[in-house]
A and B are shown apart, each in its own frame.
Chain A
């Protein structure tokens, strides 16, 4: 045993405090490095995109090349907006949610209830594998199933099916994890009152985990909002606002891709990206808030 340490505790404490400070410094530097990309991205988007964002950006559809070229040569702001993209995104995400949320929550409840059964394990594994399927492959599948066979052409329905398949595993897992956090005693309290099983799920388990379920849904939605690849093969894009499930539809990420391919519309890339990024960030912050509230 080092008697010195006991005889002279202050010297030891000083070196400990020094080490502590060095460690803290390293952590701060590494954290700054970690968050710097998002700060750089957002600041770049704001600097380059904010000029285009005005009322008509949200109320008008995307301009054609000629309009953009004229505006550019006159040194004006490119006219038009991304209304067709915004409506298309909302339309398809809504349809995808209607398909994925009920199914996902039901499967999540099933996995929670039958967690140890072999059949449940298979389903859980499949859902994990689904999360890893490249989104372009899902686009191809939806193209084969829907575009080729059901709508006989590119359609919003095909787009939302591919997005729904992406959402499904996320919702299944978040539902199962949320339900697992409810104490077993709450469930037993329900059974001890003689309540039938489906009432306990509907009136006890789901309300108790509602904020967790909403968080999972919002995160799944923000995950699919920016998906481009599957939509290119399914929804294709459209210059007009469309609310028909069997017609081609635009989406914000699709518009960004189109703007990128048109040298006259480069400015619109930044404003559309800024919009998309803001949308996703807002959803993320809301879901974080909800998640924090339940703790």
Chain B
């Protein structure tokens, strides 16, 4: 039974009975998860390694479609529209993704990395429009002042934290509705981590954010709502504050108090 004490009005995403298995004989990595994600808020997905949190996240922008063996069941609705009815190309423009390790395109400059979404989709823009998008996206991730003099250098010359913010800027350039982040700070040092966290809190005014993390304190610091997953099940979903103070499920409590995980 899922403890879902969250009433979400006009959710940006609603997940209905989603199950994902890595091949048709394997156990479900995500097991009949249903949840609604609040608009303009940070929703954290927590849980120990192998609990299915990344798998759930990658189902939201249909990254699993890249691997034919993976079986996905159930539905996800983005603003009420079934994502299986939208082409992956269009869907992924509306749902941006940031990965665990910073992965700027190694052959592209900082400028080209930000605008990569347009370039790779063959969308031609006037130079002023492009410059505007690049500047706005880099300002959104508080990277503009650091890189404005080296926009045409390779993105890979930046530090890890800067690279990760560049990847967030790349995801923002399309003005998506939702940004998915898969443990975005696990490869970063504490200073870079706190910068990314501040940034996410700032970004939720414009975007809806879903954040996978195995760092409980991070979830407590920045998220509005939290999901706790365990062995593929969504165990508990609620307001972060109440979940951290009065967890309803024993497994949540044990995880939050460090008994396992």
Binding site for B on A (CB under 8 A): 183, 185-186, 188-196, 199-200, 203-204, 207-208, 210
Contact = CB atoms under 8 A, between A and B. Distances in A.
A190 B92 CA distance: 10
Interface centre among B103, B116, B121, B170 (most CB of A within 10 A): B103
Contacts of A194: 88-93, 117, 120-121, 174
Contact of B66 (A188, A193, A196): A188
Contact of B63 (A186, A188, A196, A204): A188
A192 B92 contact: yes
Interface in B71-107: 88-93, 96-97, 99-101, 103-107
A208 B106 contact: yes
B120 A199 contact: yes
A208 B106 CA distance: 6
Contacts of B97: 192
A233 to B, nearest CB: 43
A88 to B, nearest CB: 37
B120 A204 contact: yes
A188 B117 CA distance: 13
B167 interface: yes
Contact of A185 (B88, B93, B101, B170): B101
A191 B63 contact: yes
Contacts of B174: 193-194
Interface in B107-129: 107-108, 116-117, 119-122
A159 B149 CA distance: 53
Contacts of A186: 103, 105-106
B95 to A, nearest CB: 9
Contact of A189 (B89, B93, B99, B119): B99
Nearest to B100: A185
Contacts of B106: 186, 208
B61 A192 contact: yes
30 contacts: A185-B99, A185-B101, A186-B103, A186-B106, A189-B103, A189-B170, A190-B116, A191-B92, A192-B63, A192-B171, A193-B92, A193-B93, A193-B96, A193-B116, A193-B117, A193-B121, A194-B89, A194-B90, A194-B117, A194-B120, A194-B174, A195-B117, A195-B120, A195-B121, A196-B121, A196-B122, A199-B122, A204-B105, A207-B108, A208-B106
A194 B61 CA distance: 9
A197 to B, nearest CB: 10
Interface centre among A188, A189, A191, A207 (most CB of B within 10 A): A189
Nearest to B106: A208
A213 B66 CA distance: 25
A207 B107 contact: yes
